[in-house]
Amino acid sequence: MLAAGAHISKEKDLNAHIEAFVAQIKRRQIQGSYNVALATSQLLLRVVSAARWTQIDQLVTQIKVLGKRLQSAQPRELACGNIIRRVLALIREESEDTNDSESGDGAINSPLITSMFSLLSTNDECGPNRQSQSLSDGTGRSIKKDLKPYIIEGIQELIDELKSIDESIASMGVEMIHENETILTPTPNSRTVLKFLLRTAQKRKFTVLVVEVFPNDVEKTHEFALKLAEAGIETTVITDAMVYSIMGRVGKVILGTHAVLANGGLLASAGAAMICQCANVHRTPVVVCTGLYKLSPMYPFDIESLIEVGDTGKVLEFEDGSLVDKVNVVNPLYDYVPPESVDLCITNMGGYSPNFMYRLVLDHYRQEDTTL
């Protein structure tokens, strides 16, 4: 009775924690792809630790149901769904490895602790037991007891890697930025780009042009520029209208992202698409800095559904009543940048062409989990 009461109490605490997390996502109290991804991973760690299941399918179903709730709370925050799918892939991988080791085919397989980004090397072979996800294989061993510690450890490793992603990307900056080069960035809200530039400035001297990104990120732009200037980087804030005239002096365009889609296209700060087109005209390389947790298996079939719209009052103030009634004002927070506008994607695992992103999606996600 005491054990049952303790379990009910833990279940209530977990449900309350999930409800609080859903409310935070809806109210945008957790903002930014990194913060959402980290918070989602920590929530899944708690859910898996408290979950009770007798078949691996039951755990997968629980995670999928939770994933649907989180996605419906904030449909355009793709990082949340990405982490859900990564954990589902990890669970399936652990189950398959355990089934392989118990199949008696002579192969020596131990449960593999799979991290968020260690699924690049996949095993396409399908043994007779790879579809089995039941509790018992006839030997009396409990898969729940066998797999749970490995799944928890895998999620914890995923969390640790999330925390080190920006440093991994920043370490590649010396290879990307040359001495006395001029860099332009239109994504001042990207912590990855900020760390990338700050880390590179320790060994390279270069100039940074920060696009104002009016009207949504003006304050963040000046904060971003101030941090660069405090690090000794020559920094200039320019308006969006100056980009074309100054692009001929730019050596590289460095972009941060909100999400990277399966076709290699990406969602970035509003105005980024125009800047990338301008860079393409001037043959200026466009380099994207992104962690693989932003990689989504979704394709941009309906681009408008992926673009979040912000406060139109920042574009046209409501005090201008004579104009407000006569025009339709839209203030998108993000732009869709097609893959052909990007030259290189720098991830925590190295640099890749946008055309290779579809392969990373196949390596990091399971097809059955694309739709939660």
What is the per-residue pLDDT across 19-30, written as a single tens digit (0 to 9) for each?
Answer: 999 999 999 899
What is the per-residue pLDDT across 65-110, written as a single tens digit (0 to 9) for each?
Answer: 999 999 999 999 999 999 999 999 999 988 887 766 655 544 444 4
- Helix ranges, 51-77 (H): 56-73
**Same domain flag for 360 and 306:** yes
How many separate domains does the chain show?
2
Query: Which residues constitute the domain of residue 333?
Result: 171-369
**Same domain flag for 275 and 218:** yes
Closest alpha carbon to 362 in 90, 122, 61, 126: 122
- Rounded distance, CA 222 to CA 219, Å? 5
What is the per-residue pLDDT across 127-161, written as a single tens digit (0 to 9) for each?
Answer: 333 333 444 443 333 444 468 899 999 999 999 99
What is the per-residue pLDDT across 235-261, written as a single tens digit (0 to 9) for each?
Answer: 999 999 999 999 999 999 999 999 999
Q: Is the dihedral of CA 117, 293, 190, 220 positive or negative?
A: negative
For 109-122, what is the mean pLDDT? 42
Asked if residue 292 has pLDDT above 80, the reply is yes
| pLDDT reported for residue 115 | 44
22: three-class secondary structure by DSSP: helix
Which comes out higher in pLDDT, residue 121 or 210?
Answer: 210
The mean pLDDT of the chain is 85
- Least-confidence region, from 12-21, 33-42, 113-122: 113-122
**Same domain flag for 350 and 203:** yes
**Same domain flag for 214 and 307:** yes
What is the per-residue pLDDT across 155-178, written as a single tens digit (0 to 9) for each?
Answer: 999 999 999 999 999 999 999 999
For 256-267, what is the mean pLDDT? 95
For 194-209, what is the mean pLDDT? 96
CATH number at residue 285: 3.40.50.10470
pTM listed for this prediction: 0.82
In this structure, what are the phi and psi dihedrals at residue 199, rounded to the nearest 5 degrees? -70, -40
Which comes out higher in pLDDT, residue 215 or 229?
Answer: 229
Query: Side chain identity at 32, as an amino acid letter?
Result: G
**Same domain flag for 220 and 316:** yes
- Rounded distance, CA 345 to CA 356, Å? 10
**Same domain flag for 109 and 241:** no
Who contacts 84 (Cβ-Cβ below 8 Å, separation ≥6)?
40, 44, 63, 64, 66, 67, 70, 71, 369, 372
CATH number at residue 85: 1.20.120.420
Range 188-212 burial, b when 16+ CB lie within 10 A, else e: bbbebbbbbbbbbbeebebbbbbbb
Any idea what DSSP says for residue 253?
E
Domain finish residue from 139, 164, 189: 164
